[in-house]
């Protein structure tokens, strides 16, 4: 008989999952109650109120779909993209390719505007593409975890609304770490995941719909092809009638509620500043090692960093050593960035000064070189 499972103590500095706060672990251990218990509806209501705060929205619909971030992505596509729907896709990394694939499986007509991995679309390019394609849906990845680049949302959403399109924004790696500002940016359908900057375990996908999107959802004539991800049915469970749809993952809702409560306790402003500071310190350390970042300074995510590996460094061997000697998890690049970059997540609880310093010291040891941790210290000291 196998022994009780005790995972190794890891420092999670990869593209997710991130580390989990002890208070969120405590929330997970609370007793199960039923998914139709009036007390549980209070948990859902708290989650909605807190999600509005974290997303930066006053949307009526702010929920969490059962499943990881990909479930939110699939819910967005399945409920708003049908056979023949014209979709304008901003394609500059792996997750926009995944969105493209989902749209194509729905039978959509997808027009793609492409950029190399690590670059982003400027306002004029975004506007020209949407004016030319006149789509019904424009989709983009706000924080591209495969590249480390942040795609500004406002120009895409403004241009989309001018042609009557709705926007889908993947906020999986930005929500809880960088401003998403759903209302200010005008993102109609925004989704995220619990295990990145919200620092809860993987298993739920927060999602919010603008009044415009909710109206289009409710006006849909044909039923959503996916029964499980049908947002009309899920919305009815969250709404006043609380109509049974599926058994919600109760413990994960306790965890999400607590993770969101911790966002509110810290305040989003302080949280963004923390992510920005740790990112800046990490970059200073990387540059002190004579390395450079893959993404141009003005387009970098604070939550996912892609330092370029020095020539001749074996990516897999380096990561194996970081894991075995330092118990630090970081991941490598994939697709066009295979073997070229590291992917270092500083998300949620993982975005802390001691982890930044530890990783930089570990990199000094593994790569040779010095001064990385000192350069980071200078940033923390206000340099
Ligand atoms: C992680 C991620 C996803 C997928 O989320 P899962 O939780 O792995 O299903 C989607 N989009 C982006 C940008 C991500 O980083």
Q: Which is nearest to 143 in space by CA: 155, 152, 134?
A: 152
Distance of alpha carbon 255 from alpha carbon 52, whole angstroms? 17
Q: Whose CA is nearest to atom 5 of ligand 1?
A: 69
Please choose from 70, 74, 171 the residue to mutate so as to test ligand 1's pocket, defined by most ligand atoms within 8 A of CB.
70
Distance of alpha carbon 200 from alpha carbon 17, whole angstroms? 8
Statement: residue 197 has pLDDT above 70: yes
Is the C-beta atom of 210 inside 6 A of ligand 1? no
Distance of alpha carbon 109 from alpha carbon 195, whole angstroms? 32
Is the C-beta atom of 205 inside 6 A of ligand 1? no
Percent of the chain with pLDDT over 70: 100
Statement: residue 29 has pLDDT above 80: yes
Cα 44 to Cα 34, 47, 258: the distances in Å are 12, 5, 12
Statement: residue 294 has pLDDT above 80: yes
- List the Cα angle 322/325/326 in 5-degree steps: 65
Residue 297, C-beta contacts closer than 8 angstroms, at least 6 positions apart = none
Distance of alpha carbon 165 from alpha carbon 130, whole angstroms? 9
Alpha-carbon dihedral 151, 153, 156, 159, rounded to 10 degrees = -160
For ligand 1, the distance from its centroid to the CA atom of residue 193, given in whole angstroms, is: 7
How confident is the model at residue 383, as a pLDDT? Answer: 65
Please choose from 16, 100, 171 the residue to mutate so as to test ligand 1's pocket, defined by most ligand atoms within 8 A of CB.
16
For ligand 1, the distance from its centroid to the CA atom of residue 137, given in whole angstroms, is: 20
How confident is the model at residue 246, as a pLDDT? Answer: 96
Domain map (residue ranges) of the chain: 22-265, 267-382
| SS3 labels along 209-271 | ECHHHHHHHHHCCCCCCCCCCCHHHHHHHHCCCCCCCCCCCHHHHHHHHHHHHHHHHHCHHHH
CA 120 to chain centre: 17
For ligand 1, the distance from its centroid to the CA atom of residue 70, given in whole angstroms, is: 6
Mean pLDDT, the chain, rounded, equals 97
Please choose from 168, 193, 194, 200 the residue to mutate so as to test ligand 1's pocket, defined by most ligand atoms within 8 A of CB.
193
Is the C-beta atom of 305 inside 6 A of ligand 1? no
Distance of alpha carbon 306 from alpha carbon 327, whole angstroms? 20
Statement: residue 22 has pLDDT above 70: yes
For residue 215, name the pLDDT band (cuts at 50, 70, 90): very high
Is the C-beta atom of 347 inside 6 A of ligand 1? no
CATH code of domain 22-265: 3.40.640.10
DSSP state of 382: T
Residues 279 and 380 sit within 8 Å (Cβ to Cβ): no
Is the C-beta atom of 146 inside 6 A of ligand 1? no
For residue 166, name the pLDDT band (cuts at 50, 70, 90): very high
Please choose from 64, 65, 72, 173 the residue to mutate so as to test ligand 1's pocket, defined by most ligand atoms within 8 A of CB.
173
How confident is the model at residue 87, as a pLDDT? Answer: 98
For ligand 1, the distance from its centroid to the CA atom of residue 175, given in whole angstroms, is: 12
> Residues 89-146: pLDDT tens digits?
999 999 999 999 999 999 999 999 999 999 999 999 999 999 999 999 999 999 999 9
> Residues 361-379: pLDDT tens digits?
999 999 999 999 999 999 9
> Residues 46-103: pLDDT tens digits?
999 999 999 999 999 999 999 999 999 999 999 999 999 999 999 999 999 999 999 9
Going by their DSSP bridges, the two strands 86-91 and 109-114 should be labelled as: parallel
The reply to whether 22-265 and 267-382 are identical in fold is no
How confident is the model at residue 45, as a pLDDT? Answer: 98
For ligand 1, the distance from its centroid to the CA atom of residue 113, given in whole angstroms, is: 21
Q: What is the mean pLDDT of residues 201-207?
A: 98
Is the C-beta atom of 173 inside 6 A of ligand 1? yes
Residues 177 and 303 sit within 8 Å (Cβ to Cβ): yes
Fold of 267-382: 3.90.1150
Dihedrals phi, psi of 184, to nearest 5 degrees: -65, -40
């Amino acid at each position: 008989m196998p022994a009780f499972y005790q995972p190794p103590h890891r420092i999670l500095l990869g593209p997710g999952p991130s580390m989990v706060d002890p208070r969120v672990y405590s929330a997970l251990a609370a007793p199960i109650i039923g998914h139709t218990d009036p007390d549980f509806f209070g948990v859902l209501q708290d989650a909605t109120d807190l999600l509005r705060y974290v997303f930066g929205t006053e949307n009526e619909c702010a929920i969490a779909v059962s499943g990881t971030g990909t479930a939110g992505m699939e819910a967005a596509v399945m409920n708003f993209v049908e056979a023949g729907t014209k979709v304008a896709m901003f394609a500059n990394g792996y997750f926009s390719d995944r969105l493209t694939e989902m749209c194509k499986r729905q039978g959509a007509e997808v027009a793609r505007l492409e950029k190399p991995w690590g670059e982003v679309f400027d306002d004029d390019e975004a506007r020209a593409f949407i004016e030319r394609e006149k789509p019904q849906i424009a989709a983009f990845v706000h924080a591209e975890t495969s590249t480390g680049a942040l795609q500004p949302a406002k120009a895409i959403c403004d241009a989309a609304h001018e042609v009557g399109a709705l926007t889908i924004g993947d906020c999986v790696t930005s929500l809880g770490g960088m401003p998403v500002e759903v209302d200010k940016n005008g993102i109609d359908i925004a989704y995220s995941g619990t295990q990145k900057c919200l620092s809860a375990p993987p298993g739920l996908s927060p999602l919010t719909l603008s009044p415009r999107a909710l109206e289009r959802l409710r006006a849909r004539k044909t039923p959503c092809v996916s029964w499980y991800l049908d947002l009309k049915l899920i919305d009815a469970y969250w709404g006043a009638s609380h109509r049974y749809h599926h058994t919600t993952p109760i413990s994960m809702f306790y965890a999400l509620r607590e993770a969101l409560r911790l966002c509110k306790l810290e305040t989003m402003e302080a949280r963004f500043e923390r992510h920005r500071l740790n990112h800046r310190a990490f970059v200073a350390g990387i540059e002190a090692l004579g390395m450079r970042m893959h993404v141009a300074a003005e387009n970098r995510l604070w939550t996912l960093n892609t330092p370029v590996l020095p020539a001749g460094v074996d990516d897999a061997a380096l990561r194996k050593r970081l894991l075995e000697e330092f118990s630090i998890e970081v991941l490598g690049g994939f697709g066009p960035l295979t073997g070229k970059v590291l992917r270092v997540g500083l998300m949620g609880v993982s975005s802390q000064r001691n982890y930044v310093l530890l990783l930089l010291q570990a990199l000094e040891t593994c790569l040779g070189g010095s001064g990385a941790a000192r350069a980071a210290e200078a940033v923390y000291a206000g340099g």
